Structure 1
Amino acid sequence: MLTFILRRIVSGVVLVFVISTVAYFLLYLGGGDIARRILGQSATPETVAEKTHALGLDRPLIVQYGDWLAHALRGDFGASWFTGEPVATAITSRLAVTLSIVIGATLISAVVAVVLGVLAATRRGWIDRVVQVISILGFAVPGFLIALGLVLIFAINLGWFAPTGYVPIETSFSGWIGTVTLPIVALSIGGIAAIAQQVRGSVIDALRQDYVRTLRSRGLSSGRVIYKHVLRNAGGPALAVLAVQFAGLLGGAVIVEQIFAIPGIGQVSVSATSQGDIPLVMGLVLATAALVVIINLLIDLLQGFLNPKVRLS
């Protein structure tokens, strides 16, 4: 088990390194005249040249990358070129907001999808058809349209939730619930569609196995067979889809946070990317990649627990 964990950690570190390296060079290839963006169009060429030198942008690209990497390995990600705010502070102050939405959407997607998938696989009939329709709609309708529809119906027309804004949980729990419910639901729909389909297919395949017939012949109830044995064997593929969905939810949070005016990493990602704020963008890339790697590691551990054969793969 320890070897299995070490392999996953090493592969995760390598993945983060590759992603950060590719992102750094791509940012500079499309960065344009960053110093002029910072100073404005009215700045003189001399002032722009001084700013370029102060930022170290006149050095060879590989030297700039080596300097950034050396500082990043020490935990120093620099400061925003436009606001002067330390990158670590800019990210950590907003990351908790985004994670509260993404983790909430992931949990709801997992729970609802498992229930719907199991019902569709075991009951079939009209329940299966309803789940199929829900899955198709979840795939077909863009997330931003779902978010706008939720705002129109439940915030503007019914007035049940705040249409925009964010209340920290330490300020007011009820206020926090009121501001994160609609974003979480908007993010959950697509995840429910994907995971429910996977759970349905995996459960149907598992129910056809010989061990299920053996368990039933021994007098075990259908509920015990399904929830103790079938789901354990069908959980691996669903967990893999859940890991993919988590990464997708991080990307979807960028749009959802813009619609609901939530001060998470989505807003800062859009502004930093449009400005060419490379230190801040690189910090966001590292934070996002590290989160995805950690979630995938946890999913791998769960899969190894459910299926020992995974540890040998």
Structure 2
Amino acid sequence: MAVIARILARRLVLLVPLLLGIVLFVFLVMRFSDSDPASAFFQGANPTPRQLHDFRERNGLLDPLPVRYFHFVGDLVRGDMGISVLTRQPVADQVTTALPLTLQLTFLGLAVAVVVSLVLGVTAAIHRDRLADQIIRVVSLTGVAAPGFWLALLMIQYLAVGEGWFPTGGYVNPADSFTGWLRCMTLPALSLSLPVAAQLTRIVRTAVVEELDKDYVRTAIGSGLPPVVVVGRNVLRNALINPLTVLGLRVGYLLGGAVVVETIFSLPGMGKLMIDAVKNGDPAVVQGVVLTTAVGFVVVNLAIDILYLMVNPRLRGAP
């Protein structure tokens, strides 16, 4: 544990310049975009040039760019993401309200992708070049090619509208009804996770096949250990390194895909908040959502790094 703690501390130190770089990138993109916070604030009010100037002066928009960046970072450290020009509410409050739903959708989709890919990938590897392997490979290839929004529309058409098994959209708080929450989250989670599961299935199959061909596996099976025990205890542990790498990268897809999925299923999460902010010209909210998503991606990849260390102790000697 002490080794893991030291490595984790080093990774956290390296995250500081990375996060500052992300903040700088978002800051520059928003400052050099066509959006004008002053015009957005007075949207539809026909402000005078004097009113626009006073607003910009009062909010530091006329300060030099380095000064504005310094104040921007300071505000973020205090948890201040600015004020929404549309609702006149703190952006941090809106993000805090929308974030739990997006996290639920993302991690539910992540869990589905991991379980499906492990089951199908290991099954295909064990039955290599047989019928089950061929079917799983064709299905996974189809899943890789299928975009998430297309799957979402198909599921709505056939499983929600056609069969009536699930609602077409909306959200139920799990504290009010867990079964209602599960029904309204099933189709969004499936449409978000199946393309990721398809890609991971192919990678898991390849990694497990490579491990099954190694001498230690033949020795273990030859010594009388059941193949299921060998696969579960040794093969998977060594085969999960590559899938974990891809999983860390695909978290970005899940977070980005949530924008589309939440819009299709009318879920009041970060994606819908982002779309509404873009449509209504609310730069502070767009900025807050992008920053929160980027930080979430970095944090999840840090968690993946920790999983590396748990799965493969040899990596604990890595810098």
Q: Partner residue of 1:47?
A: 51
Deviations 1:20-60 (A, max 9, x none): 11111011111333322331363332332222223322222
SS in 1 for 2:40: helix
Mean Cα deviation higher: 46-55 or 222-231: 46-55
1:195 aligns to 2:200 (yes or no): yes
1:70 aligns to 2:74 (yes or no): yes
Please, which of 200, 225, 234 is the counterpart of residue 239 of structure 2? 234
TM-score, normalised to structure 1's length? 0.95
Opposite residue 146 of structure 2, the aligned amino acid is V
Say whether the 8 Å CA contact 1:102–1:249 is kept in structure 2: yes
Counterparts in 2 of 1:12 and 1:241: CA distance versus 1, 3 Å: same
Opposite residue 62 of structure 2, the aligned amino acid is D
1:15 aligns to 2:14 (yes or no): no
Q: Provide the C-alpha distance between the structure 2 equivalents of 1:278 and 1:72, rounded to a whole number of angstroms.
A: 15
Q: Provide the C-alpha distance between the structure 2 equivalents of 1:151 and 1:221, rounded to a whole number of angstroms.
A: 43
Opposite residue 74 of structure 1, the aligned amino acid is R
RMSD of equivalent CA atoms: 1.6
Opposite residue 67 of structure 1, the aligned amino acid is H
Counterparts in 2 of 1:8 and 1:273: CA distance versus 1, 3 Å: farther
Q: Provide the C-alpha distance between the structure 2 equivalents of 1:168 and 1:32, rounded to a whole number of angstroms.
A: 35
Mean Cα deviation higher: 81-90 or 187-196: 81-90
Deviations 1:122-150 (A, max 9, x none): 10212222222222222212111110110
Unaligned segments of structure 2, at least 5 residues: none
Q: Provide the C-alpha distance between the structure 2 equivalents of 1:110 and 1:305, rounded to a whole number of angstroms.
A: 17
Instruction: Give the 5 Å matches for 1:264-279.
Output: 264-279=269-284
Percent same amino acid at aligned positions? 37
Counterparts in 2 of 1:25 and 1:275: CA distance versus 1, 3 Å: farther
SS in 2 for 1:76: coil
Unaligned segments of structure 1, at least 5 residues: none
Please, which of 38, 41, 50 is the counterpart of residue 41 of structure 2? 38
Opposite residue 96 of structure 1, the aligned amino acid is P
Q: Provide the C-alpha distance between the structure 2 equivalents of 1:153 and 1:303, rounded to a whole number of angstroms.
A: 40
Please, which of 206, 215, 229 is the counterpart of residue 210 of structure 1? 215
Q: How many pairs are equivalent?
A: 313
Q: Provide the C-alpha distance between the structure 2 equivalents of 1:93 and 1:32, rounded to a whole number of angstroms.
A: 25
Opposite residue 4 of structure 1, the aligned amino acid is I
Q: Provide the C-alpha distance between the structure 2 equivalents of 1:52 and 1:65, rounded to a whole number of angstroms.
A: 15
Instruction: Give the 5 Å matches for 1:1-313.
Output: 1=3, 2-40=5-43, 42-124=46-128, 125-313=130-318
Say whether the 8 Å CA contact 1:135–1:193 is kept in structure 2: yes
Q: CA deviation at 1:74?
A: 2.5
Q: Provide the C-alpha distance between the structure 1 equivalents of 2:219 and 2:27, rounded to a whole number of angstroms.
A: 56
